[in-house]
Structure formats: C-alpha cells, structure tokens
Amino acid sequence: MGSLFDQIFQMSFIIGLLSAMFRMATPIIFGTLGEIITERSGVLNLGIEGIMLISAMFGFLATLTTGSQWFGVLIAILVGVIFALMMAFLVVYLGLSQHVSGLGVTLFATGLAMFVYRHAVGSPTIPPIVQPFKPFPIPYLSDIPFFGQILFNQYALVYVSWALIPIMWIFLYKTRYGLALRVVGENPMAADTVGINVNLTRTLALVVGGALMGVGGAFLTLAHQNMFLIDVVGGRGWVCIAMVIFGNWDPIRGSLGALLFGFIDAFQLRLQSSGFAIPFHLFLVLPYVITIIALIGVARKSSAPAGLLKPYRREEKGG
Amino acid sequence: MSPKNRSPIVEMRSIKKCFLDTVALKSVNFTLYEGEICALLGENGAGKTTLMNVLFGYYACDDGEIYVNGKKVTFSAPRDAIAKGIGMVHQHFALVPSISVLENIVVGIKESKNLFLDMKEAKHKLLDLEKMYGLFVDPDVKVETLSIGEQQKVEILKALYRGAKILILDEPTAVLAPLETKDLFATLRKLTENGNSVIFISHKLYEVMEISDRIVVLRNGEIVAERHKTETNMRELASLMVGGEIDLGKRKNVGFKLINDEIKDVLRVNDLWVMGNRGIEAVKGVTFSVKEGEILGIAGVSGNGQKELAECLFGIRLPEKGEVYLDGLSLAFGNPFFTVMNGMGRIPEDRIDIGLMMDLTVEDNIILEMHAFRPLKNGILLNYDAAHRVSDELIQKFSIKTAGRDALTKTLSGGNLQKIILARVIYRNPRLIVAAQPTRGLDVGAIDFIHDQLITTSKNNNSGILLISEDLDEVFSLSDRIAVMYEGKFMGIVDIENADRETIGLWMSGVKESCA
C-alpha cells in the first residue's frame, strides 16, 4: 500500500497520469461531440457504439494497406458518414423508432466489422499491427515544464478534439445554423413553420455526428493502440451517450465528463500495473461504475431536447 | 371603406383536400380582400384550419389553385408561403420554451448571408416592430416564462418580422382571458390600419361579430355563406354554422337545484394547496364542496390551476397541504385506486394520454376501472363473459360508434373516445364525477350527448358533479352553482340564478366585483 502512495506522489507518475487522461478522453470527446450535435437535432443515435467500432476497423485496414494514418482517419470518417446516413434513412425518412434503429445499426456494424476484418486478415496467431500516430509535440509549448509534457506532447488528434469543443459551442449558440438545429431538436413544427427543412437538418446533424464518431473510432486503432481487436471500443460508445446526458447536451460540460472518464480510465490502468492482488477486471469496471454514479448525481437535473426521439411528420388531420 | 372597393389579395379556387379516408375540403373558393379582417366561422371539423394550412403551405392541396396578389402560386412548404408574405399563428404555438423570445423570432431567417447571428441588429428591428404595433414583449426573456397571451404576441411578432402582410390566426382567443382578447382585438385593428389583412378562425359568434369586417361560414368542408358584418346577426350565423335552427344560450339543465346546508356533501375540499410542474403553487388554498345531485361548474381560462386541482382529486398528484373528503371519507392522496374504490368517477382533461390506452381494445378500456371488482373479477382471473356482457351493453347504451368491442381504441373518433370514458364512469354509479374539460375539441353531437348524460346522472343517481371547463357556455348551461378559478384561487362561487356572464368574465380575468 505504502509503495503505491509513494508512486502516486512522484512527479513522473502525475505527469504520466494526466497526460494519459487527455489521451484516454480523446475518443470519448469525439464521440460525445458527435452524439451531442445529433441529439440536439432531435435524433438519438444509439448506433454510436457500432459506428465507432466499424470506423476503427476500416481505419485500421486502410492504414495497414497504405501505411498512412491520416488516410485511415479519412476512411473512418467516410464509414462513419455512411452508417449515419443509414441511420438517417431509418429514423428520419422512415420515421422508425430511434432506439430500435440505433441498436440495429450497432449490431449490424459490429457483425460486419468482425466479418470484414476476418475476411481481410484471416486468423493469424499474432494480429497484424500498424505503425500508429506518433505524438506531435508542439514546438516551444511542449518545453514548458510539467504542463508542456501533459498538454503539448500529445497526438495531433488530441489537439483537434480540443479545438472542436469551442467550435461546436460557438456553432450551437452563436450561429444561425446552430439556432436552427436547436429549434429542430426542440420543436420541429416550429422549425417547419418558419421554413427550416427539418429532415435535411436532422440528416446533416447525423452525418456530422457520424464523422466525429468515426474519428473517435479511428483514434482507438491508430493512436491508442496499434491493432484492431473486436472489443477495442469496449462500451465507449455507450459512455458517450452517458456523457451527453451528464453534460446536459452541452459540448463543454460533456467534454468535461469525457475528461473525468479519461482520468479514471488512466488511473485504473496504473492500478492494474501496480501489482495489486485484485483481478484486473475490477479495475476495468471502475470508469463505468463512476460514470453511472456521476449520471445519478447529474442526470435528474438534465433536460433533453424536447423533440428527441420523435419522428417529424406534418400533422395529417383536419381541424 | 366597404370591401367592395378593395382588391382581392388572396384567391383560393376550388381547393380540394382529402385525408386518408375523409374529405376535409370539397372544392372551396375563398377570397381575402386587402386590409380587411375576415372571419372563418365554423364548427370543429368544418375544415377551417385545413383550408388555412393549405394557404400556409403546411398541407399540399389535392386540387385547386391559389393566387396571391393576382399571381398564381404553388406552396410546397410554409417557407414558400412566408416568402409571399403569409404568416400563420397556429392554435398550438410553434415556439421553443427554453430559448429567448428573440431567438424564437429570428430562427430560420434567410436574408442575411452571415454565418453568425447579429442579435443586436435583430433586437433593434424587433423593438421597432413592437413599438409600431403596440405588442410589447421583452426580447431577452425565455419564452417559458411568458403567459399564454404574451406567447401569442411572440407568434404574431414572428410572422410580422418575416414581413407578413397576410396574417392567419387559428382560434386565437381559445386560450385567452377576456381582457387579453380585448388586447388582441386592438392589435388586429392596428394591423389592418397598417395595411395588413387578417384571417381570423373562430367558432365564437360574438367575437366574430365584434372584430370582423366580413364573415365566411364553413360547414363540412364547404363554404355555405359569406356575409358582410352589417348584413347579418348572431342568430343567422349560428344556424348557418350548424345547418339548422339552434337555440342560442339555452340552458340545458332545466331543473335548478337549490343548494343549502341540509344536503349532504359528496366532496368537501378544505384549504387545498397543490404544486404545479414548474415548482410554483398552482392551487393556492381552495375550499369548496359539491353536494349530492349538484353540478358545480368551475370556470376559468385553462392554466389557472384547474388541471392540478383535478389531478389532486384523482389521486395522481400530491397536495402540499389541505384536506379532501369524498363522501365523508378522508381522501388518500396519491392513491388513485382509493378514489375508484370509493365512488369517484374520473373524466381526465387529457383523454388520450391519461384516460385511455389507445393501442388496446375498446373492451379493455371500458372495463378498466371495474376489472378489480365482481362480477368481472374471478379470483386472480378476469371473467371474460361478464366483461363481454358489460362492454356490449355500454357500447349500445352510449351509442359508441365502433366496429365492436374488439376494435382498437385508436380507431375511434374523439367523441366516441370520450363516450368510452363516460360509460365506464357512469356504469359504476359514482357518488361524484370529476369532469375536466369533458367536451373540449368534440363536435356538437357528442357534446350534446355528454351534457345529457351528466345531467341525467346528477338527477337520477343523485351524484355530485364537479365540472371543470373553460367553455363558459357549457358552464352556464349545466351548472347549479358556478365558481371561477383564477391563478390558483377561487374568485367566488355563485348560484346560477344570480350569475351573469359579465361578472363571471371579469372574474376570469382576475377582476373582483361581487355579483349584483
């Protein structure tokens, strides 16, 4: 026990932990931002778990074939968009249940990812690996003691995720399109009667959201790890759904939730390697348990967009 | 200026519109002249709203042509109609409560190429509009903090902000108190003074006579008459509207019951306080009783605590404090089954969400409150023979139009849905019936039937009836005593003999004068 505490208060441990926190949080931030923009338009995308997985797989394969990590990210975005469009077809145009459609997309994407991966690489005893992203230290800033190592010695995608948080916030609250998107999510009829195309808005929100989920997936196989495993996403998609609620559909608060998850994830990894005589599965469970506890505290006060889950149709009856 | 000198600004020619199985509009010709207030008068389901939704581009018409300023137009969505200067205020406001007035107004404006919202400029423009039309609303507050009357102003401003010259208002007074209605009428006059034209949908005769220049009467999807206001009167309009002579304002409950202390209370409410959904007290200390065989009408504009009062009596909402006695028994709050057990018949305001299970059969809904008692209960099983018997009997007795007891409830019309609730309530010979807005949105035939049933039950079964209604005609037609609820309190209770409409109307707007 004593040795653990000694470890915790070592500077290198803290730097490692906090730096890992940002790394671990990155796929969650991408997924959460993607889910927020989708849900703000009134669509719950439960396909997120599957979309992240299949994007992770295709991104991995693309990099494996070409050697370019950025090409892998591009392919992951494309795959995310395709599955978001599938979701849009089901829930926006056919008006099917968003819950059922989302779970369906997740199951389909998961199965397909497995199938394509096996088809492409067969069943080798050692899974193939790619050359992952290298950390991209920002000149000068990364030389700052302590903070430089934590904040400015990360993967490029980590910086991208940080930049996206204020961009998303400004888009939602300061632009015409953001306002239109929020009105579509709150009261689609109000949007329709002022001339906003509800279905198009929702489709675009799904597409942008799907792209972000795709990047989140790609980060897992191209930066976080260097191989594809069927449980590489491991419920992170569902964690994103929880973070959206935790953050009350706000990009900044949702991202803070993602950072909290990242911190606990990073912490439990270190606990695992500290040699406790406890099955490591218990540590794996930790971030999810904390997520649930955090949700209990916050979710009761949160308020979802009023139009969430409701397909929009012009009321077809006379008066 | 007489409408003859005015030029037509909108012409709708042989408009036809069908919904799945019903013809809503049969070849309607409608003209709106510049600068007039034209009333579209008709009963529920006459096609008024449908016709206007066609003009607003919300519905596509199956056949017919629309001309605006003499030019033929085709509208595939509201944005096309907005571009031609048409604005519509729907009966259910199309507003987002959680964002500001200004945001609600500027959303979807296409004119600026700017990505970012210029809220300063927009606010300036809005304030100018507010001044011009005397429609004052704070642009920065959230819509959820506004009263219904203020929300309506936001809707009108929203249309004007988009440059509407033709304004359609769908039953704008349905949710307003009398004083707010006066305000609205002043606004409408100001609109026409400024060169706008107004279409005013209503089924209230006296309002139509007060505000409109010209009246167009719709019945069963056809225009049956057009009158200049000076050429007609309420009596004629009423018979045109329903297609036959009717008695205006005749009281249905003929035998007036004298209320005195000798008669037993079936409901006694002492100093009841109930919290509303927004965390503000909705019912603030009401005390009253309902006697055996009496109909007590609670009038008032909806949203003044009536819903919360009814829900508390139904046992589905807990009070802050207070006592309620049902037939002498202290009511167990928060226990709906207690009320069913002890003889309360409940007709909820929201018949579809709370009153019925739309995806189950008619029979399931009829037996809903009796399944726990003999003869329907048979140990832990249901006695289906008895259930079938009861359902068939009630379907016949209440002439519920349905394919049979096995039909899905959602296939029934509004009037027949309400009859199911009424049937199951009356079948159990209730001591008390709490009827919340029992005829809202129903057609005349169904309203008539429900009124008759309520009166008969109070007379024959000696049941007390608490009638909560925002329809003043209904309250006057049925009640033995009238109370008015305003901001959670009772403004007063009077016997029907001493009640006059003016006073009750003032009470509904919160103005307290004693009944002369």
- Give the residue extent of every domain in chain B: 3-242, 265-343+428-508, 362-427
HSE (side-chain half, CA atoms, 13 Å) at B68:
17
pLDDT at A3: 62
Average pLDDT of chain B, as a whole number: 86
Strands (E), B5-83: 8-18, 23-33, 37-41, 63-68, 71-73
Nearest chain A alpha carbon to B93: A190
Residue A317 pLDDT exceeds 50: no
Q: How far apart are CA B461 and CA B57, in angstroms?
A: 51
> Sorting pLDDT into bands at 50, 70 and 90, what band is A46?
very high
User: Residue A50 and residue A213: Cα distance in Å, rounded?
Assistant: 10
- ipTM computed for the complex: 0.85
Residues of A in contact with B164 (CB under 8 A): none
Does the pLDDT at position B54 exceed 70? Answer: yes
Mean pLDDT on B193-210: 88
Q: For the residues A164-184, what does the mean pLDDT come to?
A: 95
Q: What mean pLDDT is predicted for residues A205-229?
A: 96
| pLDDT at position B3 over 70 | no
Compute the average pLDDT of residues B156-173.
93
Element (H, E) at B464: strand B464-468
| Domains B3-242 and B265-343+428-508 belong to one CATH topology | yes
Determine the residue of chain B that is closest to A186 in CA distance: B96
Lowest mean per-residue pLDDT among B184-193, B240-249, B392-401, B447-456: B240-249
Residues of chain A found within 8 Å of residue B19, distances taken between Cβ atoms: 316-318
Residue type, A263: F
What residues have CB less than 8 Å from B268, skipping those under 6 apart? Answer: B289, B323, B324, B325
Confidence of residue A132 (pLDDT cuts 50, 70, 90): very high
With bands split at pLDDT 50, 70 and 90, how would you rate the model's confidence at B247?
low
- pLDDT in the model for residue B246: 52
Spell out the domain ranges in chain A.
19-133+153-233
- Helix, strand, coil content of chain B in percent (nearest 5): 35, 25, 40
More confident call, B187 vs B42: B187
Using the Cβ of B47 and the Cβ atoms of chain A, whether some distance falls under 8 Å is answered with yes
Distance CA B251, CA B451 (A): 11
Q: Is the pLDDT of residue B302 over 80?
A: no
Dmax (CA) for chain A in angstroms is 76
In tens, the pLDDT along A26-38 reads 999 999 999 999 9
**pLDDT at position A75 over 70:** yes
Q: Which residue has the tokens 């829900």?
A: B311
The pLDDT assigned to B516 comes to: 44
Strand partners, B330: B325
The pLDDT value recorded for residue A319 is 33
The CA distance from A189 to B271, in Å, is: 41
Contact A193 B103 (CB under 8 A): no
Lowest mean pLDDT among A15-19, A50-54, A305-309, B371-375: B371-375
Binning pLDDT at 50, 70 and 90, where does residue B513 land?
low
Phi/psi-derived region of residue A195, left when phi > 0, alpha when psi is between -120 and 50, beta in every other case: left
Query: Which residues of B are less than 8 Å from A193 in CB distance?
Result: 56, 58, 78, 88, 90, 94
| Residue A284 Cα to chain centre, angstroms | 18
Interface test with A, best of B96, B116, B156, B169 (most A CBs within 10 A): B96
Residue A5 has a pLDDT of 65
Please judge whether A192 and B109 are an interchain contact, meaning their C-beta atoms are less than 8 angstroms apart: no
- Tell me the nearest-neighbour CA distance from A174 into chain B, angstroms: 6
Taking CA atoms, A292 is separated from A254, A289, B86, in Å, by 14, 5, 50
List of chain A residues whose C-beta atoms are within 8 Å of the C-beta of residue B17: 318
Residues B336-347 have pLDDT tens digits of: 888 888 888 899
- Quick one: pLDDT at residue B471? 80
Instruction: Give A40's contacts in chain B (Cβ within 8 Å).
Output: none
The average pLDDT across B44-69 equals: 89
Task: Provide the pLDDT for residue B349.
Answer: 85
pLDDT attached to residue B514: 55
| CA distances in angstroms from A271 to A111, A276, A278, listed in the order given | 33, 7, 10
Positive/negative CA dihedral, B334, B340, B344, B349: positive
Please count the residue pairs, one from chain A and one from chain B, whose beta carbons lie less than 8 angstroms apart: 96
Confidence check: pLDDT of B470 > 50: yes
Mean pLDDT of all residues in A198-224 = 97
In the predicted structure, residue B440 carries a pLDDT above the cut 50: yes
- Does B60 contact chain A (CB < 8 Å)? no
Report CA B88 to chain centroid distance, whole Å.
Answer: 18
Q: Which of B493, B472, B466 shows the shortest CA–CA distance to B177?
A: B472
Tell whether omega for the bond before B375 is within 30 degrees of 0, i.e. cis: yes
Nearest CB to A319; choose among B50, B108, B109: B50
H-type alpha helices, B303-355: 306-314, 336-341
pLDDT value at B32 more than 60: yes
Distance from C-alpha of A81 to C-alpha of A75, rounded to nearest angstrom: 10
**Residues A288-297 pLDDT 10s:** 888 788 778 8
The answer on pLDDT for B7 being more than 90 is no
Q: Is the pLDDT of residue B264 over 80?
A: yes
Residue B163: pLDDT over 80: yes
Chain A residue nearest residue B54, CA to CA:
A318
B112 reaches A (C-beta below 8 A): yes
Rounded Cα–Cα distance for residues B412 and B268 (Å)? 36
Among A236, A249, A259, smallest CA distance to A205 is for: A249
State how far residue B82 is from chain A, nearest Cα, in angstroms.
8
Q: Is B94 at the interface with chain A, CB within 8 A?
A: yes
Band (pLDDT 50/70/90 cuts) for residue A172 is very high
User: Among all residues of chain B, which has the CA nearest to that of A306?
Assistant: B96
**In the CATH scheme, what architecture does the domain B3-242 have?**
3-Layer(aba) Sandwich (3.40)
Contacts of A141 (CB under 8 A, 6+ apart): A148, A151, A152
Six-digit token string for B264: 């037993």
Contact yes or no for B50 and A195 at CB 8 A: no
Q: Give the pLDDT of residue A2.
A: 54
Complete DSSP assignment for B222-249: EEEEEEEGGG--HHHHHHHHHTS---TT
Work out the mean pLDDT of chain A and round it to a whole number.
Answer: 91
Q: Which residues of A touch B (CB under 8 A)?
A: 174-177, 179-180, 182-183, 186-187, 189-197, 303, 306, 314, 316-319
Average pLDDT over residues A270-276: 77
3-state secondary structure of B322: strand
Judge whether residue B203 has pLDDT over 70.
yes
Q: Report the residue from A186, A189, A191 with minimal CB separation from B108.
A: A191
Altogether, the residues listed in chain A come to a count of 319
Q: Which CATH number fits domain B265-343+428-508: 3.30.530.20, 3.40.50.300, 2.120.10.30, 3.40.50.720?
A: 3.40.50.300
Q: What is the DSSP letter of B409?
A: G
Query: What is the amino acid identity at position A303?
Result: S
CATH class of A19-133+153-233: mainly alpha
Residues in chain B: 516
Report the share of chain B in percent with pLDDT over 70: 93
**How far apart, in Å, are the Cα atoms of A185 and each of A202, B89, B93?**
8, 20, 16
Q: Considering Cα of B154, then B155, then B161, then B166, what sign does the dihedral take?
A: negative
Highest mean pLDDT among A212-226, B42-56, B234-248 belongs to A212-226
Per DSSP, the residues of B285-303 read EEEEEEETT-EEEEE--TT
CA distances from A94 to A105, A311, B100, B169, B375 (A): 15, 9, 32, 32, 46
Q: Does residue B48 belong to the interface with chain A, where contact is any CB pair within 8 Å?
A: yes
Q: Which two tokens stand for residue A262?
A: 């990242």
* A192·B82 Cβ contact <8 A: no
Largest CA distance in chain B: 78
Reply yes or no on whether the pLDDT at B2 is more than 60. Answer: no
**Of A315-319, B320-324, B332-336, B462-466, where does mean pLDDT reach its minimum?**
A315-319
Q: Does B116 touch chain A (CB under 8 A)?
A: yes
Measure the CA–CA gap between B111 and B162, rounded to whole angstroms: 10
Kindly report, residue by residue over B351-365, the tens digit of the pLDDT: 888 888 888 888 899
Distance from CA of B268 to the nearest CA of A (A): 36
Question: What confidence score (pLDDT) does residue A8 get?
Answer: 65
